[in-house]
Amino acid sequence: MDHGQHFDREMRETNWHRFWQRQLERREQIVAWLDTLGVGPGDRFLDVGSGPGLASLLAAERVGRRGRVVALDRNPEALELLRHQARRRKLDWIETITADAAAMPFLSGAFTHAMLTLVLHHLVDPMPVMKEIRRVLAAGGRLLAADYRPDGDLSVGPPAEARVSARQAAGWMRAAGFSVLEQGLTPPHWFYVLGAAGEGLGTAGERAAEGAGYGAGAGAG
Ligand SMILES: C[S@@+](CC[C@H](N)C(=O)[O-])C[C@H]1O[C@@H](n2cnc3c(N)ncnc32)[C@H](O)[C@@H]1O
């Protein structure tokens, strides 16, 4: 993803065919994230802000027909591209949903695994999205969030002011009711944080996070 001088937070000007090529170039990292998340046969996987959805396609191969894969994005054009790729690969059990990640049309506890990759830097307010992901995951379900490192190569990806750190991402996850299991780097540009959904929303954690400057609106910086 090469935003150049102009950062298109809403992605209204995105060429999704070109973005799909970029996802293919990142295939190795996406596979590593699915491995870290531990997606396997029968799992119920949610790809939040999937774009053209390479992660969903790879997850569908892992979970099989007895599992569930849902790709959610607010951009219908990206999901159309995903449906095309799913048909080509005969992965016809992938569901696509056009919706905002802060208000997802799923029952609570519907999923066992969720991914939120390269989405945080597009969110003005990450907490509603984190809480919504916690809601739709079953207790013990896992979330992998990954994004561009603030200390990484600024010639690739979003500008410094849009980037969030692993520490911020982990703070939002804790505040939403996740325990952080693991975090680390995914070369060459990214960090990841793996969390497990606790029993309830972390109201105490939320107060702590707000105190630490992780509250609403901190996502832009
Ligand atoms: C940079 S792309 C990342 C796509 C994919 N997750 C990946 O790792 O390649 C960010 C995606 O998040 C979606 N997105 C951003 N904010 C969203 C929101 N509030 N609700 C749903 N989708 C959102 C965008 O439409 C876009 O497809």
- Cβ(119) to ligand 1 under 6 A? yes
Q: From the CA of 118, how far away is ligand 1's center (Å)?
A: 7
Q: From the CA of 49, how far away is ligand 1's center (Å)?
A: 3
Answer whether residue 7 is part of any domain.
Answer: no
> Can you give the pLDDT at residue 11?
82
* pTM score: 0.89
pLDDT tops 50 at residue 125: yes
- Cβ(86) to ligand 1 under 6 A? no
- Cβ(23) to ligand 1 under 6 A? yes
9 to 6, 27, 40, 100, 101: CA distances (angstroms): 9, 23, 33, 14, 15
Q: From the CA of 147, how far away is ligand 1's center (Å)?
A: 11
Q: Report whether 125 contacts 162 (CB < 8 A).
A: no
Answer whether residue 150 is part of any domain.
Answer: yes
Angstrom distance (rounded) from CA 118 to CA 22: 12
More confident residue, 13 or 4: 13
- Cβ(3) to ligand 1 under 6 A? no
What tens digit of pLDDT does each residue of 74-117 get?
A: 999 999 999 999 999 999 999 999 999 999 999 999 999 999 99
Answer whether residue 59 is part of any domain.
Answer: yes
Q: From the CA of 16, how far away is ligand 1's center (Å)?
A: 11
43 to 71, 141, 157, 195: CA distances (angstroms): 14, 10, 31, 16
- Cβ(210) to ligand 1 under 6 A? no
Answer whether residue 2 is part of any domain.
Answer: no
CB atoms within 10 A of CB 117: 23
Determine the structural domain holding residue 106 and report its residue range.
16-220
Answer whether residue 4 is part of any domain.
Answer: no
Answer whether residue 1 is part of any domain.
Answer: no
Answer whether residue 25 is part of any domain.
Answer: yes
CATH code of 46's domain:
3.40.50.150
Q: Which of 111-115, 152-156, 211-215 has the highest mean pLDDT?
A: 111-115
Q: Which two tokens stand for residue 24?
A: 């293919």
> Can you give the pLDDT at residue 201?
54
Q: From the CA of 52, how far away is ligand 1's center (Å)?
A: 9
pLDDT tops 70 at residue 203: no
Answer whether residue 156 is part of any domain.
Answer: yes
Counted domains in the chain: 1
If you take atom 1 of ligand 1, which residue's CA is the nearest one? 118
- Cβ(100) to ligand 1 under 6 A? yes
